Amino acid sequence: MAERRVTIGWPEGLHARPASIFVRAAGAVGVPVTISKNGGDPVNAASMLALLGLGAQAGEEVVLASDAADADAALDRLAKLVGEGLDELPAA
């Protein structure tokens, strides 16, 4: 399983607008991805309800993971999005 640990860069954490950006990006990468807070249960990264349920705050570490064979590039892009608090998924 591939995974990336990343600190949330959005000042508001993974709530409202950043959560919407992340969920759309997770759905667009083409591989199934989970997200969890350090030590917590992983949830579907493409689910807005699951993501909001994490209650992930700015500065907290989250773990992005996928079992897909070609997940490395997708996880790198999502990690950059979260870590830098970007408004859109970085180009491949």
Kindly state the tokens that stand for 69. Answer: 């064979």
Establish whether 15 is a catalytic residue: yes
Q: What residues does 2 pair with on adjacent strands?
A: 66
CA atoms within 13 A of residue 42's CA, in its CB half-sphere: 16
Q: What is the largest CA-CA distance in the chain?
A: 33
Q: Which of 15, 31, 83, 85 is catalytic?
A: 15
Q: Which residue numbers are catalytic? A: 15
